[in-house]
Amino acid sequence: MLMTALIITIFCLGYLGIALEQFIRINKAAIALLTAVFCWTAFILMSPDKSAVSAQLIEHVGDFSGILFFLMGAMTIVELIDAHRGFDLITERIHIDGKRRLLWLTGSIAFFLSAVLDNLTTTIVMISLLMKFSLSKEERLTFIGMVVIAANAGGAWSPIGDVTTTMLWIGNRITSGGIIAKVLLPSLVCAIVPLALVSMRIHGKLESHAHVVRKNIDKKQLRIRNAVFFVGVFALLFVPIFKTLTHLPPFMGMLLALGVLWVFTELLYAKREEEEKRPFSVAEALGNIDMPSVLFFLGILASIAALEAAGVLHHLAGWLDTNIRNATAIDLCVGFLSSVVDNVPLVAGMMGIYDLHRYAVDHHFWIFLSYCAGTGGSVLIIGSAAGVAAMGVANVPFLWYLRKISLLAIAGYLAGAGFYLLQQLIIH
């Protein structure tokens, strides 16, 4: 009991330090790493079986290292496309002069792209795209916040769009047809409500720098730019297909995508001098990715893994089952809890408590759990992989997101949940 209380206290203090990063002037990656180390140190020192704790840590490292490799691969591909000015290919064709229309366009792209890709990669790509437009700092952060909400909502209705929906799909709790048919519209409502609320306060004209950039690129470089963009995007889109075909973890597909793009760029610049091709190489892109963001991810995942290994999250799931007997209310609580801790162990706990004898395949409990676990993480910036990526890559402050975006995310989450329940009432 003392060990559990100590680990929870360390986690909460670390969480507070991350939230107050702007005030204490310590990088959130450092706080996250210290939190992870202290949580696991407390766990092993107060545990009678040291070897069992070490084995648990190694097992969890295997789990979240896949996410880190996935993140690093995605960031490198996006960085390489950006080095070739590949995203200008999109901005040149976006003939939008209003910021409000850009808000709806980026939100729509994030929603549908995350369903076929995943919310993490989609967020990284959309952030890189938004950097190409002339927006103030406040506007850019707001747009990124909406991308996080839309990407999480888009991933919730697809069996490959979010880790938790993939878990439930592979675990035979849901079918692809069931999740798409019943969660697509609620997820759309979840994304539309915040976008509509934000669009009321977004106004003004938009100026893209794409036309300025294009003048500085010759025709040969334009062909290379286009080739790198299309190869990179198709390589990213092939990641979920590779996972479905091979059943290998997603990071293997991302490493395949990076390897293909790496070979392709090496062949493109094979006849050029080293100094000339270096700015467009994968080696240069690897040096430019934001490693503090990767380490921040590592710290957060390792800290939550300590909570899971110590049984905190499983006990939490059990407490929900014991004290809240309504399936709908449990799903809603899991959604809100997933904004504080990782939704993967929470959903895994639910799958451990409830079997198919109690709730059959595509039962309301599993389908609604997919929606809640997938979209509830948007309430806090640290509550989803997409949010953590935005926090690291685009330096979205925790407290700013809490003040400006969290209520919008709650409104969308509850609106989508209400639509789902109304939909179920009409169907039955």
Which residue carries 């290919």 as its tokens?
A: 89
Helices and strands: H and E segment counts in the chain: 23, 0
Q: Beta partners for 98?
A: 205
For residue 280, the 8-state DSSP code is G
User: For residues 297 and 150, what is the distance between their CA atoms, to the nearest angstrom?
Assistant: 21
224, part of any domain: yes
222, part of any domain: yes
10, part of any domain: no
Distances (CA, A) of 85 to 107, 128, 238, 412: 22, 11, 22, 34
Percentage of the chain lying above the pLDDT 70 cut = 94
397, part of any domain: no
- Quick: pLDDT tens for 24-72: 878 888 998 999 999 999 999 988 888 898 998 988 888 778 878 877 8
> Which of 143-147, 246-250, 312-316, 321-325 is modeled with the greatest confidence?
143-147
User: 279: domain range?
Assistant: 67-161+182-291
208, part of any domain: yes
Q: In sequence order, what are the residues at sequence separation of 6 or more whose Cβ sits closer than 8 angstroms to the Cβ of residue 255?
A: 69, 73
Residue 162 has pLDDT above 50, yes or no: yes
Paired tokens of 157: 């209705």
* Residues 319-339, mean pLDDT to the nearest whole number: 84
Integer-rounded Cα radius of gyration of the chain: 22
Residue 5 has pLDDT above 50, yes or no: yes
Q: Beta partners for 208?
A: 133
pLDDT number for residue 362: 84
pLDDT number for residue 192: 96
Q: In sequence order, what are the residues at sequence separation of 6 or more whose Cβ sits closer than 8 angstroms to the Cβ of residue 348?
A: 167
pLDDT number for residue 233: 84
pTM for this model (two decimals): 0.74
The count of structural domains within the chain is: 1
Paired tokens of 10: 């360390």
383, part of any domain: no
Q: In sequence order, what are the residues at sequence separation of 6 or more whose Cβ sits closer than 8 angstroms to the Cβ of residue 307?
A: 7, 8, 11, 39, 313, 341, 345
> Which of 63-77, 172-186, 300-314 is modeled with the greatest confidence?
172-186
Residue 207 has pLDDT above 70, yes or no: no
- Quick: pLDDT tens for 218-271: 777 788 888 988 998 888 888 878 877 888 887 888 899 999 999 998 888 887
Question: In 365-414, at which residue ranges do the beta strands (DSSP E only) sit?
Answer: none
362-366, 393-397, 407-411: which has the minimum mean pLDDT? Answer: 393-397
Which residue carries 């973890």 as its tokens?
A: 249
Closest by CA to 92, choosing from 259, 279, 217, is: 217
328, part of any domain: no
pLDDT number for residue 405: 94
* Residues 380-394, mean pLDDT to the nearest whole number: 83
What does pLDDT average to over the chain?
84
User: For residues 71 and 386, what is the distance between their CA atoms, to the nearest angstrom?
Assistant: 10
230, part of any domain: yes
User: For residues 57 and 39, what is the distance between their CA atoms, to the nearest angstrom?
Assistant: 11
User: For residues 172 and 362, what is the distance between their CA atoms, to the nearest angstrom?
Assistant: 9
pLDDT number for residue 403: 92
